[in-house]
A and B are shown apart, each in its own frame.
Chain A
Amino acid sequence: MPTLATAQKGDSFPPATFELTHDWVQEYVAAAEDGAIGRLTGGLVPPMAVAALAIRALLEQSGLPPGTLHAGQELAFAAPVSEGDSLTVTASVASRGERAGWVLMGVELAVDRASERVMTGRATISFPADAGVPA
């Protein structure tokens, strides 16, 4: 399985499944203080929590190269999620380029609840090109 530092275009990471537990949602809410989601009915979870979960899956599967910067983010939300939902995250490398000693990588993310897609996204990250080279 590749790490982010060594991954090439087309590489994918194994799916990771998470449950939106009460404790995890509370941790996220404590950080983001999303006051708007509570005004909707149905016990919905902030959509950016799903994005945070996708990032978590990516990091747990592939590791974050030292010195990584988050340059850009695209997100598309397809369905709301609620506490207790079980979500599966998949990630793959959509692009990888190198310039002036830095790698610029696009990572595509998808989050599903059973067979229903709830979110897709693309993270653009940059890290030193020697981050994957053993010392």
Chain B
Amino acid sequence: MTQQRTLTEVGTALPPVTKTITQPKIDSYARASGDLNPLHLDPHFAATTQFGGIIAHGMLVLAYVSEMLTAAFGEAWLTGGRLKVRFRAPARPGDTVTASGKVTSVTGRAVVCAVECSSAAGEVLISGEAEVPV
């Protein structure tokens, strides 16, 4: 209960989620999502692209933001949560990425958070805003 009360205060940071991207995770996500773009699966093809190698699906990285919001807000996130993001840079196999967020405003009906995913080097991979009903 203490955590729920705290998360309705502007400026509060959400507990972050950190994961390491691996090729097996990318392969699993490709099978689950049906997104078999060789940019995610074929190192030889990916090497010829603007990215110079394999990159993870953006939606896989975005899942870490959703996990953070599920942990912070519980079922409220699943029953009325809204998310709007831009994919700014790719994550690659071997990268460790962290999803983080901070409460930016609280209305009578929702908590609004700035959210992002960043690499260990500090590069912002995804940024945007989440809204969770309260």
Contact = CB atoms under 8 A, between A and B. Distances in A.
* Chain B binds chain A: yes
Nearest to A68: B37
Nearest to B58: A70
Nearest to A25: B32
B87 A77 contact: no
B84 interface: yes
B67 A59 contact: no
Chain A contact residues: over half helix, strand or loop, or mixed?
A: mixed
The B interface, classified by DSSP as helix, strand, loop or mixed, is helix
A1 interface: no
Interface in B61-89: 62-64, 66-68, 70-71, 74-75, 77-87
Nearest to B15: A36
Interface stretch (A2-10, A37-45, A94-102): A37-45
Interface residues of B, number: 39
Contacts of B58: 70, 73
Contact of A36 (B25, B67, B87): B67
B13 interface: no
Interface in A19-49: 24, 27-28, 30-37, 39-40, 44, 46-49
B31 to A, nearest CB: 6
A64 B37 contact: yes
A116 to B, nearest CB: 12
Contacts of B83: 73-76
6 contacts: A30-B24, A33-B25, A47-B66, A49-B32, A77-B81, A77-B82
Interface of B: 17, 19, 24-26, 28-29, 31-35, 37, 49, 57-60, 62-64, 66-68, 70-71, 74-75, 77-87
Interface of A: 24, 27-28, 30-37, 39-40, 44, 46-49, 51-53, 55-56, 59-60, 64, 67-80
